Amino acid sequence: MNIKKELNKKIKLLGLRNKQKEYSYMVCTKEDITISNFLGDCPDPNYIKYRKLFPKNIEKSLKTYLSSKEHKIQLKYRPGRVISSSELNKEIKIIRDIKDKKLRTKLNKFYEKVRKKMNDRNKLTLVFMPSKKEKKRFEKVLIHELMHELMDENNLRMHDWRWNEGLMTYLEYKSKEFIKKPKKEKNKMWNAYAQYAHKWALLFKDAKTPKDRYEIIKNKAKEINTKKH
């Protein structure tokens, strides 16, 4: 798969602005990405369940999470993220309080690498290191995360993760698949993704041009982001 070509197709489809000529990303271990998602504000319910002790007892929450079944699922599922410089600073601050030296050193090393790679940019896409078998999935995850980054750059990130992930899901699969109401499956996260991809498919149904689609996203983002939480 040609990543750049795939991205350009999606950028065109949605009429996005794209200032980047080259895409920059960092390959990390699945565990490092998952931990950073846990420490950050990732709204996935699998994390939230274990973040209840935040911010008082982060170390205990993290360790409980690391030995949970949700963590194992998460490692298989979607190890990728976009990290901003302010999130990076926040997370570096958080790990200072971890007393377990081994864990703290491991995380320090990881965040130091991220900081170096991010350099003077304000965002960086992180994606898991694939085995030979995982090459296809790696490319899909990479495009998914780079698209999140592009949506951020276009100020189109919504303050509701389901709408963001739904849009990414709509883009990842052939959009026509989502015109019909998706069947419920065992994976709760997937159901949320599919349900919101369906909502996007309906919103885009009569859109003819990239500009139409761009306006639809812009209006939806405006509607969601001005709602009181």
Judged by the rule CB under 5 A, the positions of this chain that interact with Zn ion are: 165, 168
By beta-carbon proximity to Zn ion, the closer residue of 149 and 165 is 165
Minimum distance from residue 56 beta carbon to Zn ion (Å): 28
Q: How far is CA 64 from CA 44, 53, 106, 110, in A?
A: 16, 10, 17, 20
Minimum distance from residue 113 beta carbon to Zn ion (Å): 22
Minimum distance from residue 145 beta carbon to Zn ion (Å): 7
By beta-carbon proximity to Zn ion, the closer residue of 14 and 98 is 14
Minimum distance from residue 168 beta carbon to Zn ion (Å): 5
Minimum distance from residue 10 beta carbon to Zn ion (Å): 14
Helices (H), the chain: 3-14, 30-39, 45-48, 58-66, 69-77, 85-95, 101-118, 135-153, 161-172, 188-204, 210-225
SS3 label, residue 154: coil
CB of 77 closer than 8 Å to CB of 144: no
156 Cβ contact list (under 8 Å, min separation 6): 16, 217, 218, 221
By beta-carbon proximity to Zn ion, the closer residue of 78 and 213 is 78
By beta-carbon proximity to Zn ion, the closer residue of 95 and 114 is 114
- Quote the CA–CA distance of 148 and 171 in Å, as a whole number: 11
Which has the closest alpha carbon to 145: 134, 157, 131? 157
By beta-carbon proximity to Zn ion, the closer residue of 110 and 196 is 196
